[in-house]
Amino acid sequence: MAEEQPQNDTLTVNVSVKGAKPIELSLFKTETVNDVYQHIGVVPEAHHITSFDLFQQSQLLTPETLLADLVSSVQQKSIQLDLKPKTYTAKSILDHVAKTRDIVGLNEPETFGLNSGVSKINDLKLGKILENTVESEKEEEVLKETANGEESKAKEGEEEKPKAKELPKPTADEELEITQAIDNYFGELNADYYTPETIVTPAVRALHLSSWNPVPLNYKSQGHLAYIVVQTFESETLHVTGSTTGFFINKSSSSRFDPSPRENSNQSFTLYDLISKSSKNFLNIIKGNTDRLNSIDPITFLRPQTGFLANPWITKASNPSPDFGKTQFEDNTQRDFNDEYQSIKDFPTATLSDRIIRERLLTKTAYEFTSNAVKGALAVLTGAIAPMNPTDDSIDQIFLHNGIFFSFGVDASGFFETRGGNLAARASTNQDLKAIKFWNSVDAKGIYTLLTTIVDYAGKRVVCQTPVPGLFTSSEPKEVKNEETGEVELIDGEPLTKIDYGFDDASGTYKSNDEFVNALDPIRKAIHYKRVKVENGDGETVTNAEIKGMYGTDRRKYVLDLFNTTPLDVEFKDEHYHPEKEGSYPHRQLTTRIEAVQEWFATKGRELINKEAEKQGVDLSKKSEEGEENPKLVIDDEPILFTPDKCQTDENVRALSKFIKSDLIPSFLDSFDSLGNILPIDGAHLSSTMHKSGINIRYLGYIAQELEKRVKSSLESEEKTLIENKEASEAYEKKLEELKKKTEAKLKAKTEALQRGEEVPKDDDKDEEKLDDEEEDTDAYPVAESKHFQYFYEIVIQELIARAAKHVLRDQALSLPLDLVPALVSHFHNCLLGSSFNQTPQAIIEQSDFYNEKDLSFTKWTPEIVRELIFKDVQVWYRYDLPENWDAKFVKPVQLQREIALKFGIQWQQREYFFTKEAYEAHVQVLTKEKKSKRSRSVSPPASSEKLNVFEAQDVSLAPIIKDSIPRSTAGEQIFELGRQSLLQADESKKEEGLALISEAIAVYEQVYGQVHPEVAKLYATLAQLYQELGLKREATLLSRRSVAVSERTFGLDSHDTFVALLNLAFLEIENGSVVNMVKIYGLLTRIWGTIFSTQHVSLSSIVTNVIFYLERIGLNKVSLKLLNKLIDLTIKIHGKDSYAYGFLKYRYSYALAVDEKFKLALDSASEAYGALKISIGPKHYLTKQAKLLVDNFTAYQRVQSQNEKITKQRMKELAKKNQAEAQTQTVGKSNKSIKTKKEFESKSVDEVLAFVNGQAGSSKKNKKKNKK
């Protein structure tokens, strides 16, 4: 059955509300009545109404009803619904109070860290997005000029493309904004960058349940459900009775109970209406909040529905305010998450509407499970939940709470004893979670995975899963007669669940089950395994033996222990896992990544196809003619499938393992080989890129080794080139000097011949032509390869250090009480990053008598011990020896502080951290001066001798790192792909259809995920690029801004994903004609780079070069000159003065100085450019020759100017002797040429000025030859 095509019809839903303005909603027909409920909950007209039903023509609607089912015909575009209040219940009235707290600004979003989900895009104060304008096709195909400003040369035979469209000249205000933004390039981030601003002001002082609760029995019969206290900003305390029919102010006080209505207290159906009648300021504050929220994009403050917000690694904790309500409205409802989730998996998927509903509910339920799992995990770690096995060691204890099973991810059963023990068990939990996500994406019908979440907190791991139904229950105990004593005894009943597929640890046998084998076939195909007979048993198997299947008491087929879904990395295991030897890899739970499996299989599949094509004589490179059928090639993939449980002997398993080093890692490194590609900015970016390439992190040390080789090779090549260029330059200049002498001799001979009246000898240009022939242009790159690879290498080394630091902290924190972990973290950082401030840091422990000597062992750590721990950890886990003096060469304190924080779950208090005594003392002196000058009222900080350490325990806050199994939306992805394919077609009607599909894809994503979700951020970014290509610039820019906001909130303010989103936004802003916005965005990137990351990142210069280019295009040459100067200083630090990059920038700098009429400085800059270029890229490179020509022309111009000045001075002296007044008149006349020249310079473009300068020295034969090219 063909799948139903997406239907993008929208429906207008009109909802009538008694006593209020009707609500008009625009929804898709694929949405449900429940979506109408949710929309009503956020519109200002009715958001305070929580207990109601929806009717259509007196017919009560159920939440599951599709809107498409409420229309009488396909053509119907609107429906009418009626909202009718319904009486409250004990639960719904508490929900109503909680919602009212939310509306009045008292509820804080539930997060698991400080200041989660910060967005700062509004702080950029970007200008309005320009409206789309009708442009000609020629303008739509505008030529994108290169960042260095050189004009692209059209290839021979190609039509000349139109020039770049003119950008609007900035207004005076815009020019001021640009100048101020440029001044802040490479500056520090604002002190509150990682701390959110308060947007909403609470409309009441307090709103919570009264201490008179619970309702007495005699009042329950009168309909009373709850008693509430409201404190208004008029300093009045209202005691409110909540009943089945609404709310009224009663006569109670804090010391007297009387829930009867107060005089003149009218009953209101909602608490919101009651407060608005009783507080004069209430509605004004609500309106102020609404106005502020309406002034910014709601995506910057909306709460996520199915995802988690990013926790900033450094932030300022807000001061809490007293509020009884914070703990009164927690939802402690017991839920059976497994039954909910698996029931939804059984939903139909026949139509698109069915799929969307199923995916939305699956995602929502999985998110709610994950939230509850995190709460439960934290409760387990703080001792709030009792274990099921209290007599076991604490690390082996298990817990069951709210339908979730908790364990510590250790080898409690002994299964991993021969594989590495607890470390192998820990690794298996990660592998199990990744496998669950993969199995869910395959979505094999009849196979059920367990909801799973991993929570890492304070160095401890908690694995949270829904148990298989019946796993912890047994049948009724049985009475058995003891044959020896003759007495009847009770024995435990049989477990209700048992292993039906896979290896049964209890019996030591492998079990097969035809129903499982058949149901698992889609999984088998997805991971490319053979279907083989079970050894020493009956039946078949399609997966590795450790994967188990069992029937739950609900008769569903559950699979668990999926950690060995992919084959073992047998080559790595054989080389590095030798537990009997010191320095062995810690465990053998070494599976390959699914990305590696897919890439290897695809490579081998292509080889089979090519062989079959060659066998049949089919040319795969030849395109089929229109109407001609494509050749059919049938291949047997059995030879390239993996054999279950044959990791040591299966040739394909070993070939896959070798493939990682032979193909994947070289391809990964080659992907960054191009100097135009942006290198990873941090460890998270590096790790995610490795994972996407199918490379496990355990290969990080091998990658470091390969980069070392590339750095060494490129350095040797560059040193050789520099020597060759120097020699060639000297030889070339020698030839030029000889040619100059010959030319002067010829000129002298001609002059003498003319004076003697003889025939002028003919020119012989053979020498010059010979020199011309030798002037072949050579290639050059703005970044030296060695610098490119060296920076990449430094990022890898820093990631090795950060990961080792995480391991050291984790190993020590595993057995520590939670309240000691901040002291451990601060002391570790003082040893690793603060030794320049204090070489002998001391750990400060309060109430140390409560802890044993083992717990306090970390207090004996010194910087030397910490460095040794990290060195050994890198050796063991990554098979790499850190370079000598690695702590001095590669540790960048702030960047490493951030890396460790993100990996371990640390949130540092936002303040200035001084890593040296000198920096701190300089800071103290500044504050002291400010205090003396009365410019600061702050208390003077303690003297440097009083400050013992860089980091303190009170600076540390811990946040959980959450790894979830929330499924993805395949329906949204497929609709988007359909739309994208339609847009690629030439047919205009298809493009219209494609845009409609894209719109529906956005709607599906937002239905399934909500607006604040990483997947939505990625979709916005992709669509922005697509809209840009279609010429929908305004829509593209709007979506790109939303992508930045969501990326900031879900990935982090300084994450790689946010960087990419900002770069894309800057590009779209300039495409939309706003240089101001582009400058602001790039400025933020330079400040993040300057504060957190190294400004010496080789990709940073290309960003700044872009800004300079566009500033020149809009005529802000002085501002661009200022920024170019900063870039040159940065380039010197990165590349030095003998580099191509430095020479190229000084070449451009000389042009900019010429425009500013600073010809002496322009000559100096051109000379420096020529000196750098002739060494770095050789004298024969086109740019070197242009720099030389520029030097000659500036020199000639200076000589002409000097001669003119001498003549002018001489004439003025002569005129002064005759008549002073006449001399003044003639002086003005003689100056006209100079004045005119200055005016010409002010009105000319850069190219025109350069043409003017070039013209001062005339043109040689060589120049004319070049101009023809």
Span of 162-171, 922-931, 967-976, 988-997 with lowest mean pLDDT? 162-171
In 469-552, where does DSSP find H-type helix? 514-519, 521-527
Average pLDDT over residues 668-683: 82
> Residue 488: pLDDT above 50?
yes
How many residues belong to the chain? 1269
pLDDT score of 720: 85
Does residue 1231 form part of some domain?
A: yes
At how many degrees (to 10) do helices 821-832 and 785-813 cross?
A: 150
CA pair distance 1180, 1184, nearest whole angstrom: 7
User: 3-state class of 570 per DSSP?
Assistant: helix
**Containing structural domain, residue 945:** 802-958
Query: Bigger pLDDT: 341 or 742?
Result: 341
Does residue 68 form part of some domain?
A: yes
CA pair distance 134, 129, nearest whole angstrom: 16
> Residue 763: pLDDT above 70?
no
Q: Which of the given ranges, 392-401, 474-483, 749-758, has the highest pLDDT on average?
A: 392-401
CATH number at residue 74: 3.10.20.90
CA pair distance 114, 958, nearest whole angstrom: 9
DSSP string, 393-407: -GGG--EEETTEEEE
Percent above pLDDT 70 for the chain: 87
Partner residues linked to 540 by β-bridges? 533
Tell me if 212 sits within 8 A of 228, measured CB to CB. Answer: no
Query: In terms of Cα–Cα distance, which of 453, 456, 437, 470 is closest to 404?
Result: 453
H/E run at residue 345 = helix 337-345
Tell me if 1007 sits within 8 A of 31, measured CB to CB. Answer: yes
Average pLDDT over residues 894-914: 95
At how many degrees (to 10) do helices 785-813 and 683-692 cross?
A: 100
Span of 304-308, 463-467, 986-990 with lowest mean pLDDT? 986-990
In 814-949, where does DSSP find H-type helix? 821-832, 863-878, 886-889, 893-904, 917-932
CB atoms within 10 A of CB 481: 10
pLDDT score of 951: 95
Does residue 518 form part of some domain?
A: yes
Query: In terms of Cα–Cα distance, which of 187, 305, 399, 523 is closest to 1006?
Result: 305
From 30, 53, 87, give the residue that closes a domain.
87
Tell me if 620 sits within 8 A of 519, measured CB to CB. Answer: no
Partner residues linked to 478 by β-bridges? 491
Average pLDDT over residues 411-426: 93
From 914, 934, 958, give the residue that closes a domain.
958
Does residue 867 form part of some domain?
A: yes
From 937, 958, 979, give the residue that closes a domain.
958
Output phi, psi for 101, to 5 deg.
-60, -40
CA pair distance 799, 681, nearest whole angstrom: 11
Output phi, psi for 133, to 5 deg.
-115, 155
Does residue 1158 form part of some domain?
A: yes
Query: In terms of Cα–Cα distance, which of 562, 432, 440, 450 is closest to 501?
Result: 562
Tokens of 338: 């497994």
pLDDT score of 944: 45
pLDDT score of 1255: 41
Does residue 212 form part of some domain?
A: no
Domains of the chain: total? 4
Mean pLDDT (the chain) is 85
Does residue 886 form part of some domain?
A: yes
DSSP string, 1149-1202: HHHHHHHTT-HHHHHHHHHHHHHHHHHHT-TTSHHHHHHHHHHHHHHHHHHHHH
Output phi, psi for 546, to 5 deg.
-65, -20
Does residue 260 form part of some domain?
A: no
Span of 845-859, 1130-1144, 1229-1243 with lowest mean pLDDT? 1229-1243
Tens-digit pLDDT profile for residues 374-392 = 999 999 999 999 999 999 9
Residue 524 vs residues 193, 342, 532, 569, 1209: alpha-carbon distances, Å:
49, 22, 11, 19, 94
> Residue 980: pLDDT above 60?
yes
